[in-house]
Chains A and B, each alone.
Chain A
């Protein structure tokens, strides 16, 4: 606990010392929320040993001596360098962030009229009314999580998206989060996505490391899906083994809205995903999918929290993972059905393939049901590659290695197959195939040698 106290103290000091810089360039509301978060952080500190972080091995990740830069550092970005690493190069509106900051070199995307896409700090000043109405309004369920508070305390920028009522964005918005530094670095990024009534938007987030330092990204995205809105959130996580990330998404859904998240964790040292969804009005549909392919000493920790506040909503979650070497995966899924949220349908499944004796999985469903007319189910499996199926493939002349590859690919495909955009689905399938064959370019090539 001493070490935890020290880490907490360090964050506190960092905040105090950086207080003036944090005030710079952001609106009053964004800054005021920092103080509230600070009080919460003082009360809870970083989560350690608590129920929602039971198996997460945070200490080695947080103990490292990172730099934190509270100033915007001008960076040249060569797009060809970014795209050397098999990033889905799709027909998207492309935006870059660097070390948590909205890159100043981003071009104004050619979006439909009324749509706003800009840096979060800029929005906190320029689109005050919208920003103030929604900023930090949906993180309540993560209140006891000090990592969420840290983001609110220390994040200075990120991406702001506003899609007005009735506007359909056909092209996905792609945010590529780049990490590049001259020393080990911790960064905080905050995004806010507002999708209006009957509007439609697709967000594709990719994480990439451009230098071989140790990174810790603490990113938080708040999403509001208005009445009848359609919102898809895809996240492809591909960093090197020295890069860790805590990625929290809070979505608040209004009447008859549909939200889908699909988080594909291909590579990274430590990955923690927090997916919070609140189904606040009737008729909401929420699908959360996740897939993780881990080897070496990677850790992937998925935490979901679905809050059925209103009746007649449906949620479905399916997370699948393949674990090799000494990889560790954790899944914890909380579903709450509030009193009165009758006719709720909530399903949850977590399936894991263990390829070695040293790979580990912890899986923990947690259903809290306070209504009496609901359909809820959960299931978890931890198994090995099916020997019958292996023999079937080999009996057709397919080698042992290739058969294993096919089995893993097939296992993962169930999740990739949920991706609604066909080109993106094909691209992710291809990434998964490359990942399984060890052909995936991790974003900084030299990583292959120095962080293993």
Chain B
């Protein structure tokens, strides 16, 4: 099977400081990959580079998505091609209602695909269906985007947007942070319901708890800008038990040799 995402020897940084130091990663359609690692390893940088944040500069390497060169595309085109980032800190935007924001986003996607705008009635019907998926309260639709939302509401709203936009690759960046156990379950349940054989997920997380609900096929450990370990889901439990120090030591002793 063709890879959905292929990252080759990716080097990237910000303000002249290199953070990613040669990432290699391959994701096939339908797979769930977890990327774990200590603070400062480069996890959020990786998601930023994948989604096209301009303040990060790619100095070397390639990213191929669905047969296309991702690095040639601006952020909005990457989204339209099917990449979705669930933000660690969703941004509050006063004055723009959630429903108008979604309508604009959906219609921009449709325009890119050469489709006419969503008929208004059908759009609302679709929105209602997707809301049920993450138990999101309908009054949030007419409120300003994320403004005054609780931490849980913000994260649910991210997964709701994901449900509406139906990405091929969803990147969940620390989606579990700031969630209580009930919200975590709802969010994870939503993600699992959205899973299809042709879409893939990258779960970026510090902790095991989200991965109890969203079970990964492959687990990577990112450390100091490189993927230093790749294994199956059993690695999650090992990391939870022993922390990251043993991996750091492994890498450093390897470096000395």
Q: A residues engaging B (CB < 8 A)?
A: 386, 388-389, 391-400, 402-403, 406-407, 409-414, 417
B79 pairs with A410, CB closer than 8 A:
no
| A280-B105 Cα distance, complex, nearest whole Å | 50
- Candidates A391, A400, A402; contact of B104 at CB < 8 Å: A402
Pick the residue among B75, B93, B112 that contacts A395 (CB under 8 A). B75
> Which residues of B have CB within 8 Å of A388?
91
Nearest-CB residue, chain B, relative to A399: B76
- Cβ contacts under 8 Å, B74 to chain A: 394, 400
Complex interface: chain A residues within 8 A of B96 (CB): 406-407, 409-410, 413
Known: A393-B101, A406-B101, A410-B144. A398 touches B76 (CB 8 A): yes
B94 engages A414 (CB within 8 Å): yes
| A interface secondary structure, majority | helix
Q: Could you show 9 A-B contacts with beta carbons less than 8 Å apart? A: A392-B90, A392-B93, A394-B75, A395-B75, A395-B87, A396-B84, A396-B101, A397-B80, A406-B96
Contacts of B144 in A (CB 8 A): 410
B85 CB-CB contact with A under 8 Å:
yes
Interface pair B93/A400, CB less than 8 Å apart:
no
In the complex with contacts A406-B101, A413-B95, A414-B94, A392-B76 CB distance below 8 A: no
Q: Which of A410, A412, A417 has the most CB of B within 10 A?
A: A410
The distance from the CB of A444 to the nearest CB of chain B, in whole angstroms, is 31
B21 at the A interface (CB under 8 A): no
Interchain CB contact (< 8 A) of A414 among B75, B95, B112: B95
Q: Does B200 contact A (CB under 8 A)?
A: no
Q: Is the CB of A395 within 8 A of B95?
A: no
Question: How far is A388 from B90 in the complex, measured between Cα atoms in Å?
Answer: 9
Q: Which of B93, B94, B108, B161 contacts A399 (CB 8 A)?
A: B108
B79 and A397 contact, CB distance less than 8 A: yes
CB of B25 within 8 Å of the partner chain: no
B61-116 with Cβ < 8 A to chain A: 74-76, 78-80, 84-85, 87, 90-91, 93-96, 101, 104-105, 108-109, 112
A413 to B80, CA, bound (A): 28
Q: Does B53 contact A (CB under 8 A)?
A: yes
Asked if A395 and B104 sit within 8 Å, CB to CB, the answer is no
User: Which of B78, B84, B85, B96 has most A Cβ within 10 Å?
Assistant: B96
Contact between chains at A397 and B109 (CB < 8 Å): yes
Cβ–Cβ contact A417 & B109, under 8 A: no
Q: Which chain B residues lie closer than 8 Å to A402 at the CB level?
A: 104, 108
B51 at the interface (CB under 8 A from A): yes
Q: Is B165 part of the binding interface, using a Cβ–Cβ cutoff of 8 Å?
A: yes
Q: In the docked arrangement, what's the CA distance between A400 and B54, Å?
A: 13
* Total contacting residues, chain B, CB less than 8 A: 27
In the bound complex, what is the Cα–Cα distance between A417 and B147 (angstroms)?
A: 15
Kindly state the separation between the CA atoms of A402 and B76 in the bound complex, as whole angstroms: 11
Which residues of A lie under 8 Å from residue B85 when comparing CB positions? 395
B87 adjacent to A392 (CB under 8 Å): yes
List 17 other contacts, CB 8 Å, given A399-B108, A409-B95. Answer: A386-B91, A389-B93, A393-B101, A395-B84, A396-B161, A397-B76, A397-B108, A397-B109, A398-B104, A398-B108, A399-B76, A400-B76, A406-B96, A410-B93, A411-B95, A413-B95, A417-B95
What are the residues of chain A within 8 A of B90 when measuring CB–CB? 392
> Scoring B residues 124 to 144 as 1 if CB is less than 8 Å from chain A, else 0, what string do you get?
000000000000000000001
Instruction: Give the docked Cα–Cα distance between A259 and B58 (Å).
Output: 57
Q: Which of B53, B108, B109, B112 contacts A391 (CB 8 A)?
A: B53
Contacting pair B91 A389 (CB below 8 A): yes
**Looking across the interface, which residue of chain B has its beta carbon closest to that of A392?**
B91
Would you call A397 and B91 a contact (CB within 8 A)? no
A391 near B95 with CB under 8 A, answer: no
Q: Which residues of B contact A397 (CB under 8 A)?
A: 76, 79-80, 105, 108-109, 112, 165
Nearest to A416 among chain B residues (CB) is: B95
Q: Which residues of B contact A395 (CB under 8 A)?
A: 51-52, 75-76, 78-79, 84-85, 87
Closest Cβ neighbor of B75 among chain A residues: A394
- Assuming A395-B85, A397-B165, A406-B101, is B108 touching A412 (CB within 8 A)? no
- Give the CA-CA distance A398 to B85 in the complex, in Å: 14
